[in-house]
Amino acid sequence: MSTFQYGGNIRANGIRQHYLRYGQRRPDRDAVIVLPGITSPAITWGFVGERFGRQFETYVVDIRGRGLSESGPSLDYGLNAQAADVVELAAGLGLDRYSVVGHSMGACIAIRAARARPAGLVRLALVDPPVSGPARRAYPAKLDWYVDSIRLAGQGCDADAMRAFCPTWTDDQLRLRAEWLHTCDERAVRESFDGFHRDDIHADLASLRIPVRLIAAGRGDVIRDEDITEIRSLVPPVSVTRVADAGHMIPWDDEESFYAAFADFLGARLDA
C-alpha cells in the first residue's frame, strides 16, 4: 500500500516551495525532511519517500530551481538561501521536531542549515556529501555531465537517450529522469556546482551539536577514508557507515542496503 499522501506548495523564505508528503504524523517519532541532490527533483526520490513513509511523517522537497519549486533569473541559488529554505519550510509546516536527510548537495544544505541551530532540528543524516571546497580536491563529477543532460531533457528525450548519462539505471528510473530533468534550472545547477568548490562545509561541520550519521558510498570517490577521519574529528558524535556496493546515487545502486545503513538513527528502522 502506498504511503504517499499528497503534493503541496508552501510560501516559505519568500519563495514557493514544493514538497511531496508521505506517511502519517506520529507523536512518538520525529518528522523527516528529505533534501535531494543537485539535479534530482523530489519526484525522482519518490520511491525513497514511500519507504520512509512507512515509519515517519516524511517530506521530500524540491530544492529551489528544481522540480515544481520556484525558479527564475533573479533567484538566489546560493547555499545560505537554500539552507534558510529548509528552516522556514519546517516552521511553515509546523514541525516541532524533525530530522533532515540530505543527499549530496542536499547534505551540504542540511549542514549549513544546522549551523544556525534552528529550533526543532534534532538530527542530520548526510548521504555522500561533497567534501570539496576551498583549497580541497575537486568534486569528482564534471559540470558538463549535468548541463548536457539538462539540455537534452529540455529538448525532449526518452529513457534510451538518457541512458548515455546513467548507464546502470533501470528503465523506470531513466524514464523518470528524462521526464523531470528539464525542470532543473541550469543556472541553479551551475551555482550549486560552483558552491561545491566555494563553500566551506567543514567549518560548518565543526559547529554542529546534534547527532549526525554519515552514509558514504563504497564507490564513486566522493568520500575517501581520510575524509571520514577528518569528519570524525570535526563531529565527534558522528556515526559512519559505508554502502560497499553503491556509487554516489546510493539508493539507486543498492536500495535495501541504503535503508539498512540508517539502522535506528532516525528512531525506527527503515529495513524492518
Tell me, what's the pLDDT at 117? 95
Q: Give the model confidence (pLDDT) of 125-146 as tens digits.
A: 999 999 999 999 999 999 999 9
Tell me, what's the pLDDT at 272? 78
Comparing CA positions, the residue from 189, 211, 196 lying closest to residue 109 is: 196
Comparing CA positions, the residue from 249, 257, 270 lying closest to residue 52 is: 270
Q: Assign 185 a pLDDT band (cuts: 50, 70, 90).
A: very high
Taking CA 142 as the corner, what is the angle to CA 141 and CA 145, rounded to the nearest 5 degrees? 105
The answer to whether position 202 is within a domain reads yes
Average pLDDT over residues 53-79: 98
Percent of residues, the chain, with pLDDT higher than 70: 100
Residue 193: give the domain boundaries.
Answer: 4-261
Q: Give the model confidence (pLDDT) of 17-36 as tens digits.
A: 999 999 999 999 999 999 99
The answer to whether position 266 is within a domain reads no
The whole-model pTM stands at: 0.98
Extended strands (E) in the chain: 4-12, 15-22, 31-35, 58-61, 98-103, 121-127, 212-217, 239-243
Q: Assign 156 a pLDDT band (cuts: 50, 70, 90).
A: very high
Extended strands (E) in 104-204: 121-127
- Determine the 3-state secondary structure of 39 from DSSP: coil
Q: Given the C-alpha cell 516552521, which residue does it identify?
A: 91
The answer to whether position 272 is within a domain reads no
Kindly report the average pLDDT of the chain as a whole number. 97
The answer to whether position 200 is within a domain reads yes
The answer to whether position 268 is within a domain reads no
Lookup: cell for 231:
569528519
Q: Assign 81 a pLDDT band (cuts: 50, 70, 90).
A: very high
Tell me, what's the pLDDT at 138? 97
The answer to whether position 204 is within a domain reads yes
Q: What is the CATH number of the domain that holds 114?
A: 3.40.50.1820
The answer to whether position 270 is within a domain reads no
Tell me, what's the pLDDT at 134? 96
The count of domains in the chain is 1
- Judge whether residue 237 has pLDDT over 90: no
CB neighbourhood size of 256 (10 A): 12
Judge whether 4 and 53 are in contact, CB under 8 Å.
yes
CA distance readout (Å), 8 to 16, 85, 220, 267: 10, 15, 34, 26
The answer to whether position 236 is within a domain reads yes
CB neighbourhood size of 145 (10 A): 13
Judge whether 210 and 239 are in contact, CB under 8 Å.
no
